[in-house]
Amino acid sequence: MKRVRAAVFASGSGSNFQVIIDQTDLPCEIAMLVCDNPTAPVIQKAERAGIDTFIFEPGNYQTKEEYESQLVQILKQHQIQWIFLAGYMRLVGSTLLNAYEGKIINIHPSLLPDFPGIDAIGQALREGVSVTGVTVHYIDEGIDTGPIIAQRSLKISKRESLEDLTKRIQAIEHQLYPEVIKQLIK
Ligand code: GRF
């Protein structure tokens, strides 16, 4: 039987990307990495794993619609059915959303709707909340909005540093994202 094909979109270090591709029992093939930052370390991770990579620079296009139209074309050529955003630091527009309705999910390091946007872990620390966590959600045109699929929480320790909390949140992300993918794609 033909396996479901998925793409990961990432702009940075790619620790979630690595964990996802390392799963031995994923119900889909990670057939592609899409990256909007030519210097992102995630690109080497994809190269090492022999995964096709499409790198683009948004600054080279006039509009979001223009680069997303090209992305949709490439994704379709690669028969991609699902898109997993993992540190893709860019809002998805209507061109991509319409082409992949209900098939784009994202992971975010807070209990949404709290602390959307960048530096969610720092936001939680500065706010002084005692609990934060991780959310996996469907994407819409907003910043970290869209229907929530799964959340996992953790208690923030007294005087916990940004570095320590980030490590603990990443550990949860690395468990939760593969779990959700396994539940969604059967
Ligand atoms: C993660 O914290 C994810 O929740 C957020 O971006 C970060 C990506 O980290 N959307 P990495 O590149 O997977 O290490």
**Whole domain around residue 20: which residue ranges?**
4-184
Query: Ligand 1 pocket test: which of 108, 111, 173 has the largest number of ligand atoms within 8 Å of its C-beta?
Result: 173
149: Cβ–Cβ under 8 A, 6 or more apart, which residues? Answer: 105, 136, 137, 138, 180, 184
| Ligand 1 center–CA 132 separation, angstroms | 15
Q: Taking Cα atoms as reference points, which of 66, 70, 54, 106 lies closest to residue 85?
A: 106
**Sheet containing 4-9: order of strands:** 52-55, 28-35, 4-9, 82-85, 104-108, 131-138, 148-155
Average pLDDT, the chain: 97
Whether the CB of 144 sits within 6 Å of ligand 1:
no
| Ligand 1 center–CA 87 separation, angstroms | 4
Whether the CB of 109 sits within 6 Å of ligand 1:
yes
Mean pLDDT score, 76-84: 98
Residue 186 has pLDDT above 90, yes or no: no
Mean pLDDT score, 12-29: 97
Tell the residue nearest (CA) to atom 1 of ligand 1: 87
Domain total in the chain: 1
* CATH number reported for the structural domain that contains residue 8 in this entry: 3.40.50.170
Residue pLDDT, tens place only, 127-173: 999 999 999 999 999 999 999 999 999 999 999 999 999 999 999 99
Whether the CB of 45 sits within 6 Å of ligand 1:
no
Catalytic residue among 78, 108, 137, 174: 108
pLDDT score for 1: 61
Helix, strand, or coil (residue 129): coil
pLDDT score for 161: 97
pLDDT score for 87: 96
Concerning whether 174 is annotated as a catalytic residue, the answer is no
Whether the CB of 12 sits within 6 Å of ligand 1:
yes
Helix, strand, or coil (residue 5): strand
